[in-house]
Each structure stands twice: as structure tokens, then as C-alpha cells.
Amino acid sequence: MPEPVLIAVAWPYANAEIHVGNLTGSYLPADIVARYHRLRGRQVLMVSGSDAHGTPITVRADAEKSTALEVYQRYHATFLDLFQKLGLTYDLFTSTHTSNHFNVSQKMFLALKQNGYMYTDRQMQWYSTSQNRFLPDRYVEGTCYICGFTKARSDQCDNCGSLLDPTLLIDPRTKTDGSQPELRETEHFFLDLALLQPPVEDFLRLRQSYWRPNVLRQSLGQMLAEPLRGRAITRDLDWGIPIPLEGWNGKCLYVWFEAVIGYLSAAIEWGQINGQPDAWRTWWHNPEAKAFYFIGKDNIPFHAIIWPAELIGAGTAFDQLMGYANPEPMVLPYDVPANEFMNLEGQKISGSRNWAVWGDDFLSRYDPDPLRYYLTVAMPETRDSDWDWNEFFHRNNDDLVATWGNLVNRVLSVAFKNFEGQVPDPGELTDVDTDLLKSVEDGFQSVALELEAVHLRAALDAAMNLAKECNKYLDMTAPWKAIKTDRQAAGRAIYTALRAIDSLKIMLAPFLPFSSEKLHTYLGYDQPLFGTQGTQVVQDALAQHEVLRYNPAGASGRWEAGAIQPGRVLRPYAPLFKKLESTIIEEERARLGPKS
């Protein structure tokens, strides 16, 4: 059986539109890696959904005098639309507000409790006397007691990345009205992270050799510096998943506990929708399965410490509660290649100041592949990066149009002008031709190595270098000139170049799926490289919801050298990319900032 690969993608809070920083941080790299593994013939399952329960959603609902359900559904619909336009091939993009997710989260809670990793305790929680209610952590801001950042959320500091003990926050303020909250006692369930620290440490040490340093620093490094303590996993809230026990009315599972369970529940829902209710176990119980988690750096502790702790703690009890006769333990993350942040024109992206490039707005003026290309070239893999419109303009015109697009154009134009739109018979290849083909075909190894390690910038760079090599080959063999004196030589060069672009199209397909698919058609293929995407409404006792689904039917792309044969009939073609005018740089910069 082919190796199962789980692509677990960060769950966007359904309270704001998606900008380029979100896309390059987690959603796009996840899709690139998913498409690559699909081309390798592996059993890929890419799942995520809208995080419907976070307090960011109730904060927005309060501000709009609307309901959390309305807010979540409105933004969820925009995500489905954007992800389709950008070609993000989620096998299932669902939401946390489904009966299935409630059920799975409650069973994970009970499994952890059954195994002795839950305890109850009284704790002090911020209480608003003006609103007569306990305040969720996100409703309270203050100064971080570790780094001194003045706008820390009470449970996590976005500046130093630390998880915080909300009661230690300095100078607390209620976000909604600015009033000073007071600490009051309330009873909650706690996840016993102290008890889970040793197995989580073992889990991290086994991955130390290949994880990104920033991820290790914020997981293993942090745990060794300061041992884990139990954390409350329930809250005094009415919007969310109820605690599945008598006598706990008015309290919910806290969002950071249940949202990560979405990776598991979405896999289960995907199987249910496909009429294969046990299929999820392929990714969740097979020790050969590789699970990649694509997230931004602000989510590292939740994915590298807390989620593995939940999975280890639940052990085989989750399967038992699901009614399986031969319960098995859960597959732990293989890699958590968290990205750093992308800034915009030298400043931090800020939605509220409109200092952002919004996905939907961008795609109303440009094609998806140039966005995917630039977001990969500028991906913040090891340090914060910057979106710069001048750079976008150059990457589009210099790389996509002048290097890759022009290569394809030159080859197809000679094939149509001089060889009746067919792949010419090359006769015997010379060393120059076989050298080029060898270089290109070796790329299936070297580019793959980078993709396996989630070094996406390096992988794209390696593939684009091969396109440059092809351009040099064409400049040297100049088939448009050779045709006048040596038709055989011209045919040989065009045949060789067609084979090279037939291979390059595959290597570039994870990054540039739309243009690779087009080129694939121009080269005379009938079956597409990838499957199709669509939405579907799922009926649910809780609330009907719409999901995005990838359908692999008909996909024929394989991670292997193209073997285009002489005589193959090519199809009429058009340029793969549009050249941009330099005026867009200032036009786009003028769109940034507060709208008057």
C-alpha cells in the first residue's frame, strides 16, 4: 500500500478575511506539499476547517451586534471561495461547529479523563463586574510578565511566543470596554501536562534531528527551561462544545483544547462523507503514516506540545470510546514545519489598519499562479519575510514571464511554425541534448529531496534553475535559425526542449498548478494532472454546513520524467503568464492603509 500522508493545516478563525501572510504562513505550503505527495502516488489526506468557536468570533459578534453562528458562517463561505480560486486542494475543509467534531472532541476529553490525565481544580479567572460574566482569556489584554510586551493576550504573548498564566498578567484590561477585570474563583477541568511532559519530551527528542530550530526552541527548549504545568481546558462560556458530564452546565471545552482535535475529527468526517467511516484509521493508526502540520509560528506550542500531549494521553482509549474492538494508539506529528511571519512593505501586516494584501482582492486583479509563485519565493521559512510590490512585479515579469513562460512559448511556437504542431522526430540525440535531459530529469530527485524536507523555497529555486538551463540550451541550439539550414538539428532541439518542459511542468505543478495544467493540455495530454475541487452542503443536526472537497478522480500526474513521443499532436497554446506594467507597483501601494 502507498504511504499515507496526512496534511494537517492550521484552522483559520472565522472572524476575518484571509491575507497573504496567512496564505504563505500555512495554507499554501500545505497545498504544495500535498500536491507533491499526490504526484508521488501517496495516499494524501489534507484536512482543515474554520475555527468557529474561538473567542475572536464572539468578540466580533459582540462588536457587530450579531451572533457567533452568523459571523462564523459568513467568513467560512469566503474561505471556501478563496481556497478554490487559489487551488488549495483540501480533501476536506469543514468547521469545528459540527456534530461530528463535538462528538470526537468530547470522546478525546473522556479518553484523557479515563487515562488519568484530567483533574478538576478551582482557579482564579478574570471576571467583568460591568458585564457580570467571566471573561475568556482573549477578552483580557495586559503586559507580558516574561518579556514586557504591553499588548499580550492573557493566555499567550504574540511578542515572545510564550504561553502565559492569565492570572499573572500585569495591568489587565477588558478588551471590549477597557475596564479593569477582577479575579474570581471558578472550577474547571485541567489537562495534566506535568504528567505528560516525559512522553512529550521523548516524542520531541526523536524529531530533533530534522525539525526547524524555531519549532524546537518553542517546544522542547521551552519545556526544559520551564516544566509544563496543568492547564485548564474548560471555560465559562456558552458558545462552544459542552463538557460531556452532568453538572457542568454553562461551561465549554476551551478552544485551544478542541480546535486541534479538528485534524482528527475532519479525517473522520471525510470518511463519513465518502461512505467509508473507518477510513480515517489509515492516517491515524498506521505507524507508517506521516503527519505534517502546517502552521504559523504563533501556534507552535499548541501543535508541538499540547496536541501531541492530547494524543499520547488519549492513547488507545479514544478508539475504545469510538467502539473499535482492537483499539490502537494515535499517530503523532511527523513534522511541524511552522513558518515565521510575512510583513508587508516593511511593516507588520495589520487587518484593522488595512495594511494587508487580501487574498480575494488580489485575485480580482491577478491570476492565482503568480500569487502562489511569489508567496513561495518570499515564504518566511526561517525568518520573517516581506511582501514588496516591486519584488512581486519583478518575480512575475522576470521569472514567470521571461524565464519559464518564454521558454514554453519559444518551444511551442517553433513546433507550430515549422513542424505542423507535432513533436518532431529527433533522429539521434547528441551529447548536448542528452546532457540537458539528464540535468532536468535529475531534478526529480533533487527537487523531491527539498520537498520531502519542506524546504519549499529551495525546491522551487532548483526547478526554476532547470528552466534557465533549458533557455540556455535553446539559445545555443537556436532551432528557429537552424531550421533554415538543418531541419534535423532544429527538430532535435525542439524535441529535446519539449521533453524538458514536459518534465519541468511536473516539478513546477505543486507550486504552479494552473499553468502546469494548461501546459499539460498544450502538450497533447487528455487526462489532467490533478483532480477537481468543489463544495458540498452537509446536513447536520447541529447546523448544516458547507465543505470544500478535493476529488482525485481522473488525476494522472506522476512525479516522473515526461516521455513525450515524436508525432504527438500538440494543442493550440496561449502565453502561460501575463506581463505586468510597472505602474501596478504604485497603484497597489496606494491601496494600502486606512480607507478614507
> In whole angstroms, how close is the CB of 156 to Zn ion at the nearest point?
9
Stretch binding Zn ion (CB under 5 A), from 31-39, 95-103, 144-152, 185-193: 144-152
Q: Considering the complex, what minimum distance in angstroms separates the CB of residue 161 from Zn ion?
A: 7
Instruction: Select the span of 25-33, 38-46, 158-166, 284-292 touching Zn ion (CB under 5 A).
Output: 158-166
Q: Per rule CB under 5 A, is residue 163 in the interface with Zn ion?
A: no
Q: Is 92 in the site for Zn ion (CB under 5 A)?
A: no
Q: What is the closest distance, in whole angstroms, from the C-beta atom of residue 148 to Zn ion in the complex?
A: 7
Nearer to Zn ion, 141 or 310 (CB): 141
Q: Which is nearer to Zn ion, 147 or 569 (CB)?
A: 147
User: What is the 3-class SS of 312-359, one letter each residue?
Assistant: HHHCCHHHHHCCCCCCCCCCCCCECCCECCEEECCECCECCCCECCEH
If phi > 0 it is left, if psi is from -120 to 50 it is alpha, else beta; for residue 466 that is: alpha
| Spatial distance between the Cα atoms of 278 and 589, rounded to a whole number of angstroms | 51
CA–CA gap between residue 235 and residue 385 (Å, rounded): 36
Choice between 231 and 520, CB closer to Zn ion:
231
Beta-ladder partners of 190: 119, 232
Q: Which residue, 144 or 356, is less far from Zn ion as judged by CB?
A: 144
3-state secondary structure of 206: coil
Choose the binding region for Zn ion from 14-22, 137-145, 167-175, 499-507 (rule: CB under 5 A): 137-145
Residues touching Zn ion, count (CB under 5 A):
7
The least CB distance from residue 153 to Zn ion, in Å, is 10
By C-alpha distance, which of 8, 4, 6, 91 is closest to 42?
Answer: 4
- Angle, alpha carbons 281-278-77 (nearest 5°): 90
Q: Least distance (Å) from Zn ion to the CB of residue 150?
A: 10
Smallest separation, CB 344 to Zn ion (Å): 23
If the CB atoms of residues 163 and 561 are measured against Zn ion, the closer one turns out to be 163
Nearer to Zn ion, 155 or 335 (CB): 155
Dist CA 5 CA 406 (whole Å): 35
Question: Using CB under 5 A, which of 159, 179, 422, 521 touches Zn ion?
Answer: 159
Stretch that binds Zn ion, among 157-165, 366-374, 475-483, 586-594 (CB under 5 A): 157-165
CA angle 375, 214, 26 (to 5 degrees): 30
Contact pick of 43, 74, 114, 146 for Zn ion (by CB under 5 A): 146
Please select the residue that binds Zn ion; options are 118, 157, 196, 447, rule is CB under 5 A: 157
Partners of 186 in beta bridges: 123
The x, y and z cell numbers of residue 232, run together, are: 485548564
Spatial contact of 259 and 51, defined as CB atoms under 8 Å apart: yes
Is residue 293 within 8 Å of 8, Cβ to Cβ? Answer: yes
Q: Which residues contact 226 (CB under 8 A, 6 or more apart)?
A: none
Nearer to Zn ion, 147 or 206 (CB): 147
What is d(CA 2, CA 426) in angstroms, rounded to the nearest whole number?
Answer: 37
Are the C-beta atoms of 156 and 164 separated by less than 8 Å? yes
User: Which of these segments, 151-159, 243-251, 327-335, 514-522, binds Zn ion (CB under 5 A)?
Assistant: 151-159
145 binds Zn ion (CB under 5 A): no
Indicate the residue among 131 and 159 with the shorter CB distance to Zn ion: 159
Which is closer to Zn ion, CB of 81 or CB of 298?
A: 298
Which lies closer to Zn ion via its Cβ, residue 99 or residue 159? 159
Q: Residue 299 CB, nearest distance to Zn ion (Å)?
A: 16
279 lies in the binding site for Zn ion (CB under 5 A) = no
Binding of residue 147 to Zn ion (CB under 5 A)? yes
197-226 binders of Zn ion (CB under 5 A): none
Which of the stretches 159-167, 200-208, 445-453, 563-571 binds Zn ion when contact is defined by CB under 5 A?
A: 159-167
Cβ-based nearer residue to Zn ion, 91 or 137: 137
* CA 331 remoteness from chain centre: 19
Shortest distance (Å) from residue 165 CB to Zn ion: 12
The phi-psi region of residue 209 (left if phi > 0; otherwise alpha if psi is between -120 and 50; otherwise beta) is alpha
Binding of residue 462 to Zn ion (CB under 5 A):
no
Work out whether 585 is an interface residue with Zn ion (CB under 5 A): no
Nearest distance in Å: CB 163, Zn ion: 10
Residue closer to Zn ion, measured from CB, 184 or 217? 217
- Does position 82 interact with Zn ion (CB under 5 A)? The reply is no
DSSP reduced 3-state for 125:
strand
CB 86 within 8 A of CB 23: yes
- Is residue 208 helix, strand or coil? coil
DSSP 131-190: TTEEPPGGGEEEE-TTT--TTEESSB-TTT--B--GGG-EEEEETTT-PPPEEEEEEEEE
Instruction: Return the H-helix or E-strand segment holding 252.
Output: strand 251-253
Shortest distance in whole angstroms from residue 208 CB to Zn ion: 25
Nearer to Zn ion, 69 or 160 (CB): 160
Considering only residues 517 to 536 of the shown chain, the ones binding Zn ion according to CB under 5 A are: none
- Of the candidate residues 144, 243, 252, 330, the single one contacting Zn ion (CB under 5 A): 144
Q: Report the b/e string of 505-525 with b at 16+ CB within 10 A.
A: bbbbbbbbbbbbbbbbbbbbb
Whichever of 148 and 277 has its CB closer to Zn ion, that residue is 148
Quick check: 149 binds Zn ion (CB under 5 A)? yes
Binding site for Zn ion (CB under 5 A): 144, 146-147, 149, 157, 159-160
